[in-house]
Chains A and B, each alone.
Chain A
Amino acid sequence: MASEIFERLLKEVTPEESQFVEKNVAISRQVRHILAVHPTINSQKALAEALGKEPSEISKWLSGLHNIGLENITKMEVALGRDIILTDEQARERYEKPAAGYQVFQVSRYKGKVDNSVHYPGWSGKRNITYTPIDEKNPGSSH
């Protein structure tokens, strides 16, 4: 009975609502990850202090259900000195651009496959894992 009600409620969730919660949870996880490694602001309480907010407010923001809003995300980014969200273009610009003075000489890509049907006796987690090259290019002096 309970599962039927749950199934019915689940069907009533719109794709927008689902996407909203997914994005919110991803942002919340990212903030928690930054807090875990930040040298000074390493707790929700410390973040609340840095922003001049109540800890309960930060807790609400990071619940995954609250509409944090771009303004508050930006405030957290400034306080933490780290980006919380990046567009695809920004991420590529940041992580794919070679550091100054460096010359890219090889980019190799591989596609891997895991055969979860292959079990190794005595090693429950071990599966047959393989890879094959899928692309390779030498950018030469253009970078």
Chain B
Amino acid sequence: MAKKKFDIGKLDYLYIRDIAFTYSMPDEPDIPEKEGNPTGYSMEIVKMFNMEQEVIRLVFTIEMETKLESAKEIRAVYTTEHLFQVKGLSEWVTKAEEKFVVDPELNEALTIQAYSTARGMIHQKFNGTWFSDFVLPVAKSGALD
């Protein structure tokens, strides 16, 4: 029997909100003109579900940094929360070896939606800061799961 394919129409974006934001810049007189980009960054995506409510929650955190010549750093951390309703969620979650596994197509759809939304939120949030030009790269299919 052919494997059932997840219908993206069963996915609703319930809400998006900021959870935390910090931005620290050393106070020193010789900071050069702002470049608009970090030199490095890291991301974390935490995914969780509530089976009773049929919702999946993604917590997306990005941390950016730029090292100055003085060895000091400009740093920022931004966390956003993304909540999705998935009708019939139990059909798409299995348990194997004490681990929960979400259908790969549903998982990817969630990641892509949240990641793309976070890209815009990050760009807006960092407007006017050292990281104002930063744009998250386009994610290749499956590369974020």
Interface residue ranges, A against B (CB under 8 Å): 6, 21-22, 25-26, 29-30, 33, 64, 91, 95-96, 98-99, 101-114, 116, 125-127, 129-131, 133-134, 138-143
**Which B residues lie within 8 Å of A139 (CB)?**
99
A106 CB contacts on chain B under 8 angstroms = 45-47, 102, 107, 145
Of chain A, the residue at the smallest CB distance from B97 is: A140
Which residue of chain B has its CB nearest to the CB of A142? Answer: B98
Q: B100 touching A140 by the CB < 8 A rule? A: yes
What is the interface residue range for chain B against chain A?
Answer: 35 or more
How many residue pairs bridge A and B at CB < 8 Å?
121
Report whether B41 and A141 are in contact in the complex, using a CB–CB cutoff of 8 Å: no
Chain A residue at minimal CB-CB distance from B49? A103
Q: Are B44 and A126 in contact (CB under 8 A)?
A: no
The answer to whether B99 touches A138 (Cβ under 8 A) is: yes
Q: Which of B20, B41, B59, B145 contacts A114 (CB 8 A)?
A: B41
Contact B27 A105 (CB under 8 A): no
Contacting residue for A26 out of B21, B24, B93, B132, CB 8 A: B24
Task: Say how far A21's CB is from chain B's closest CB, in angstroms.
Answer: 7
A25, A30, A107, A113: the one within 8 Å of B45 (CB): A107
Q: Which of A112, A138, A141 contacts B40 (CB 8 A)?
A: A112
A104's nearest neighbour on chain B, judged by CB, is B48
- A95 in contact with B19 (CB, 8 Å): yes
Residue numbers of B with Cβ under 8 A of A are 19-24, 26-27, 29, 35-53, 57, 59, 79, 93, 95, 97-102, 107, 132-137, 143-145
Chain B, Cβ-Cβ closest to A26: B24
Given contacts A140-B100, A141-B95, 8 further A-B contacts (CB under 8 A): A95-B20, A101-B53, A104-B46, A106-B102, A107-B46, A108-B47, A131-B43, A141-B100
25 pairs of residues in contact across A and B, judged by CB atoms under 8 Å: A6-B29, A29-B23, A30-B22, A64-B27, A95-B20, A102-B48, A103-B51, A104-B46, A105-B102, A106-B45, A106-B145, A110-B43, A110-B44, A110-B144, A111-B42, A112-B41, A114-B134, A116-B37, A129-B134, A129-B136, A130-B137, A131-B137, A138-B101, A140-B99, A141-B98
